[in-house]
Amino acid sequence: MLYVLRPALVLFGALSVLCGLLYPLAVTGVAQAVFAEQANGSLVRREGVVIGSRLIGQSFTQPGYFWGRPSATAPLPANGAGSGGSNQGPLNPALHEAVKARIAALRAHDPGNTAPVPADLVTASASGLDPEISLAAARYQAPRVARARRLDPARMEALVARHAQHPWLGVFGEPRVNVLALNLALDMEKAGETLHTR
């Protein structure tokens, strides 16, 4: 019996050390050496204090900030500990009602804006934590934010354009903007404003 068990136990121990210890340590070491910022969560700091991550959306609600995608996480929007979507299909009446309510809220905060509302401003993502919005969604909100901050609309458009991320290699992905980075840049544009979330 020992003759049969010994090779199995040796192989089990060797693979446990290799796959459960050495490999994770090697991957972690390489990640920390080559991609330290990304490996540590792409954290955003302001005056030495962590205020968010470039990878996790935050809930902005004030008119003077760009708003991210709606979030269906519970109990709060953009809850990193409760990532998940609403799981409502396109034929679900509850989804139609939610979208109508979100469109109404956007129109109420910017009644003069008659442009079509971009889909990502009224539909929640599967994770509920999207940190980015489409370039169209940022441009849709730019007039409202410019008015709230008393900034020249052309200056606001230039700020959005500066923070636009374009498709990788010009093909993969869509033009987009990181909401937290854009809002932090807004605070830099007009001193005396503070970053408010939730």
* DSSP line for the chain: -HHHHHHHHHHHHHHHHIIIIIHHHHHHHHHHHH-HHHHTT-EEEETTEEEEETTB-----STTS--------SSSTT-GGG-------TT-HHHHHHHHHHHHHHHHH-TT--SPPPGGGTS--SSS---EEEHHHHHHHHHHHHHHHT--HHHHHHHHHHTEEPPBTTTBS--EEEHHHHHHHHHHHSTT------
What is the structure's pLDDT at 99? 93
pTM: 0.78
What is the structure's pLDDT at 190? 62
What is the structure's pLDDT at 196? 45
- List per-residue pLDDT tens for the chain, 198 residues long: 777 788 888 899 999 999 999 999 999 988 888 888 878 878 888 888 888 888 888 889 999 999 999 998 888 888 888 888 888 888 999 999 999 999 999 999 999 999 999 999 999 888 989 999 999 999 999 999 999 999 999 999 999 999 999 888 878 888 999 999 999 999 887 644 444 444
What is the structure's pLDDT at 138? 96
Instruction: Show the tokens assigned to 71.
Output: 């979030």
Instruction: Show the tokens assigned to 109.
Output: 């905060």
What is the structure's pLDDT at 15? 93
d(CA 115, CA 117): 6
What is the structure's pLDDT at 90? 86
**Dihedral sign, Cα of residue 173, residue 175, residue 176, residue 181:** positive
